[in-house]
Amino acid sequence: MSLNIVVCVKQVANPDYFSEITLDPETGAIQREKVPSVLNPVDENAIEEALRLREKYSGKVTAISMGPPQAKEVLDWALTLGADEAILLCDRAFAAGDTLATAYVLAAGIKAICPVDIIFCGNEAVDGATQQVGPQIAELLGYPHISNVSELIVNEDKTAVATRIIEYGHLKMEAKLPVLVSVSREINQPRTATAEGIFSLMDKVFRTWSLNDVTVDEKNIGLTGSPTRVGKVYEQKNERQRLILKGAPEEMVNTTIEKLRQEGLI
């Protein structure tokens, strides 16, 4: 059995630098210029699961992303880890899209390389955390989908048995291929890049597709095709009263208790 696998990946701001993200005081827009970008962490688990299936059954793994030209960096990383091909959906017309408009463009890109057996996504992106794009892609393609998957078994009869994390336990689900699977971090331990993988990057197929390379209705892409609207963006600041106590421990404890009583907190 040979599998044609697609992995959707996203370039996001490095979570280690989230505290350095600021807002434009006039427009309210998020400013990320000083924050380095990385591959969305759980997308690396999605890549790993795709590679393991290809190694078991043979086939091809294609990494796909929608984003600006610099998103090529995360696709190059996917190729370095072992993906066979990569596609970047890049056009100004795609910009400013919400999750639905993004899923619509990604689904159009995947349709262009169909038939596809399995689509992998990370369960959520660290910047938006909506968990919407994967299921929306599946709905647009008419595929069954299973989210928050911590274990996946694909059988020779092209059925997928997945264990998904739910509150207070796990749920086992089965679906016929083609299927979209959104994975959690618990599903595997991603491999590290090798020197061989780095050197092989030059021999891998990388494509950049614009609006003219996919079949889309322009009313469904970008800001125009986004039913979600951001009403306001603001920075939440918490100002707290500060009290510095001095003296013996017993005195400070008594003072603290009295202060809390005065504030009605105890």
Give the pLDDT of residue 27: 59
Give the pLDDT of residue 34: 77
What average pLDDT does the structure give for the chain? 93
pLDDT higher than threshold 80 for residue 240: no
Q: What is the pLDDT of residues 136-182, one digit of tens each?
A: 999 999 999 999 999 999 999 999 999 999 999 999 999 999 999 99
Say what the pTM is.
0.86
pLDDT higher than threshold 80 for residue 17: yes
pLDDT higher than threshold 80 for residue 231: no
Give the pLDDT of residue 87: 98
Give the pLDDT of residue 242: 81
Give the pLDDT of residue 29: 63
E strands, the chain, are 3-8, 11-13, 22-23, 30-31, 37-39, 59-66, 85-89, 118-122, 145-154, 159-166, 169-176, 179-183, 205-209
What average pLDDT score do residues 226-232 get? 83
Give the pLDDT of residue 52: 98
CB 94 within 8 A of CB 221: yes
The answer to which of 14-23, 104-113, 152-161, 207-216 has the lowest mean pLDDT is: 14-23
In percent, the amount of the chain with pLDDT more than 70 equals 98
Give the pLDDT of residue 28: 62
Q: Which residues of 51-88 are buried (b: 16+ CB within 10 A; e: fewer)?
A: bbbbeeeebbbbbbbbbeeebbebbbbbbbbbbbbbbb
Q: What is the pLDDT of residues 186-199, one digit of tens each?
A: 999 999 999 999 99
Structure confidence at residue 264 as a pLDDT band (50, 70, 90): confident
